[in-house]
Amino acid sequence: MPPYLLHLSTSLILSATRSTAPPSFPSSLGIPLCKISLPVFGLRSDSSVAELAKTVVEKKQVPDIIVNNAGTINKNNKTWNVPAEDFDMVVDTNIKGTANVLRHFVPLMIEKRHGIIINLSSGWGRSATAEVAPYCASKWAIEGLTRSLAKELPPGLAAIALSPVVVNTDMLNSCFGSSVALYQTTETWKLKNLDISESEWAVQAVAASIYSTCNMAMRTENVSCF
């Protein structure tokens, strides 16, 4: 999260696909965690995401910012050897899961007449590598989906496809094995990026491939992140 967001009156809403305690990062960044009851939901289920949206509306916590970060990857395999169920899992999570969120939350943001949608892509959504074709295909899809979405949104809303750097995570370990140790951890990434000034973030944003329908100005009011 860009450091300048920490200067806003920000309340963070976390929702997960499994019953685990919320991560500690909100408190470590000085961001209050919004205390509302959200259901554990299946991102791949359209009806489940619809129920989540209904709960958010009832709690009067329609988000200003949506981060579609959920993702999975197939086990390393030649494209023609990837089991159908593995391919389906990647597509249903990475593409259709994102589409489910957009289907039920974008109309709510349009009613508010402002909002930012951040869809997490990947370097492999702009290139490719062997043995993870389903994952690469899903991230290429996110790039195209986001570009189309940005052209459809009314003034006041923006859509961004962000490709993070390579970070040492469990998912990366599943395809890189022991060589994952060569890459920075999430903690290292966080410490490095929290030191970046607002102006440096702006320069990076301009240099990035950002597709939006308007020039968004961050509001200094209450911001709800989903």
> Which letter does DSSP use for residue 26 in this model?
H
How far apart are the C-alpha atoms of 101 and 106, rounded to whole Å? 8
What does each C-alpha distance from 172 to 20, 73, 192 come to in angstroms? 21, 9, 20
* Exposure of 113 in the CB half-sphere (CA atoms within 13 A): 0
Spell out the residues 6+ positions from residue 181 whose beta carbon is closer than 8 angstroms to its own: 168
Cα 182 to Cα 199: distance, rounded to the nearest angstrom: 30
Name the DSSP class of 96: I
Which residues are tagged catalytic? 135
Helix segments in the chain, DSSP class H: 25-28, 46-58, 84-90, 97-112, 133-152, 170-176, 186-194, 198-207
Tokens of 42: 């299946």
The whole-angstrom separation of Cα 173 and Cα 177 is: 5
